[in-house]
Amino acid sequence: MLLRRLALTSRAVAAEPGRRAKTELLADCLRELGPAEAPSAVALLSGESQRLRTGLGPAALRELPPPAADPVLGVRETERVLEAIAAVHGTGARAERHRLLAGLFERATEVEQSFLRAVLVGDLRQGALDAVVADAVARAAGVAAATVRRALMFRGSARAVAEAALTGGEPALATFRLEVGRPVRPMLAASAPDVGAALEHLPGPAALEWKLDGIRVQVHRDGGDVGVFTRSLDDITARVPEVVEAALALPVRSAVLDGEAIALGPDGRPRPFQETAARTAARRDPERLRAEVPLSPHFFDLLHRDGEDLVDRPGRERWAALAGAVPAGLRVARTETGDREEALAFFRATLARGHEGVLVKDPAAGYRAGRRGAGWIKVKPRHTLDLVVLAAEWGSGRRQGFLSNLHLGARAGGEPGLGPWVMLGKTFKGLTDETLARQTEALLAREVERDAWTVRVRPELVVEIAFDGVQRSPRYPAGLALRFARVVRYRPDKSAAEADTVATVREIAAAEGTAATDGVAATDGTAAAEGLPERTPRRTPDRDIPSDD
């Protein structure tokens, strides 16, 4: 089947706002492609295109041959060429990669070329694409979406899951199981503006746990073998010997644990996040670094113990199993309550100990990859969003020569009338000199175009932004802008597809609108208690959008 079919579908999916309609369009295309070629299409569309990246920058993409008049490229063939390009290494690799890519582009029509460019820079503008692809695979294969998602949780490769679904249906998908030693996609949390709102989302009493601001660790132990994996499933076993030792000391033969590793001070309060991050990022000298900044693991879930899978068990049972396998000092603090006042007291006590916030969890929910289902809800005292850097302005004065003022975008998430990325504001606040230098380098590597002041970049870098509120602003595409935005940190463990959506920002704005009347935000001490700016104007919109100029 011609690549043209997939490229046109991809374009139609991007233009279609409705999630269900997106899924239909893609499912039709996958059905037509059939079991032999649909897995290649899934690999091209999904995050796996990462694996197919050629390592060639935008300059190389500009120097490619003009489009062919007639479509000749096949889907499988295209995947093979991209795989071959990604596999080229050693001296002369750059030239060889470029030669292969030029050969591919030479044979691609205009619509195919633009699809390929999007695949290569990871910019397939389709919003929540992984979820749409998973649902479309289910539909094309005639299996339940939950079965596909479950298989994806156990096996990162969407291609492998698509192949199994389309050739062997439910029975083939059922063979994807938790395997000790192979990391599973982690369960993630939705967020709520305050504890009361989080409790309302859950059917009955909730469990509240400390939200530790460390690094997510998934620990697999099989006898004397231990593997430690991050949120993005990178293997960091060699960097965290103390986590390995803690796992080996547990009274189990095999286990899969989920938790957070964090550097704590002698008083038990968290040390600055950067210290934990530096530990898990450093490849060298783990023993020396360990002596300087020891990490302690704190587990909050148990997915497997001694041959028994617990993934589908309710949270309460998994927690009981965890308590039976892991000593209290290595577990996160937790309470169960349906009472709002009690929950608030736990939240305040957690913050008083220096932690970031709480996780409000449904004790009846199974462990499910991703954010779907909202069995876990996080509540933090301040607003933060994970946004994508769309462009940056050159700094002035002390920051001359550095890209400083960041243009911040949320995912449109399929909202009609908006592009794929929705700009919400700019900031140069919160950047240390070191971050400034690093971000300049990282942004220039992603340059798409520039004028005298601004460099527009590929939307790939995710940055965590704190802000004081959301204000109405006709100058921004969603009619909303962030107040007093500042950089908390870059999030190299997140991809742009995981950035927050405009819908989340609208929810925050809506919650702020009610904060002054229901009083919850005020008692939590959140900035939201200040209310929307048009009710309590403090600065003009112009001055709220800081610029280095």
Ligand X SMILES: Nc1ncnc2c1ncn2[C@@H]1O[C@H](COP(=O)(O)OP(=O)(O)OP(=O)(O)O)[C@@H](O)[C@H]1O
Please give the residue ranges that form the binding site for ligand X (CB under 6 A).
188-189, 209-212, 216, 231, 260, 300, 332, 359, 378
Strand order in the sheet with 376-379: 190-191, 376-379, 357-361, 206-211, 334-337
DSSP state of 461: -
Convert 351-376 to b/e letters by CB count within 10 Å (16 or more is b): beeebbbbbbbbbebbbbbbbeebbb
Q: Is 426 annotated in the active site?
A: no
Q: Is 216 a known ligand-binding residue?
A: yes
Residue closer to ligand X (CB basis): 164 or 247? 247
The residue (of 394 and 467) whose beta carbon lies closer to ligand X is 467
Q: How far is the CB of 545 from ligand X (least distance, A)?
A: 25
Whichever of 435 and 504 has its CB closer to ligand X, that residue is 504
For the CB of residue 225, give the shortest distance to ligand X in the complex, in Å.
24
Longest dimension (CA), the chain: 69
Nearer to ligand X, 359 or 387 (CB): 359
378 in a labelled binding site = yes
Min. distance of Cβ 319 from ligand X in angstroms?
11
Which residue in 90, 20, 78 sits closest to 49, CA to CA?
Answer: 78
Of the two residues 98 and 185, which places its CB atom closer to ligand X in the complex?
Answer: 185
Per the annotation, does 209 bind a ligand? Answer: yes
Please report how close the Cβ of residue 210 comes to ligand X at its closest, in angstroms.
Answer: 6
Please check if 292 is assigned to a binding site.
no
Coil, strand, or helix at residue 316? helix
By DSSP bridging, strand 295-305 and strand 334-337 are unpaired
Supply the minimum distance, in Å, between the C-beta of residue 192 and ligand X: 11
372 belongs to an annotated ligand binding site:
yes
Candidate list 22, 211, 361, 380, residue with the active-site label:
211
Query: Can you tell me the distance from the alpha carbon of 313 to that of 363, in angstroms, rounded to the nearest whole number?
Result: 10
Burial class (CB within 10 angstroms; exposed 0-12, middle 13-18, buried 19+) of 263: buried
Confirm whether residue 300 is marked as ligand binding.
yes
HEC assignment per residue over 359-375: EEECCCCCCCCECHHHC
Give the H or E element holding residue 464.
Answer: strand 462-467
Establish whether 260 is an annotated binding residue: yes
User: Residues near 285 by Cβ (< 8 Å), separated by ≥ 6?
Assistant: none
* Residues involved in catalysis: 211
Residue ranges for the known binding site are 209, 216, 231, 260, 300, 372, 378
Query: Which residues are annotated as part of the binding site for ATP?
Result: 209, 216, 231, 260, 300, 372, 378
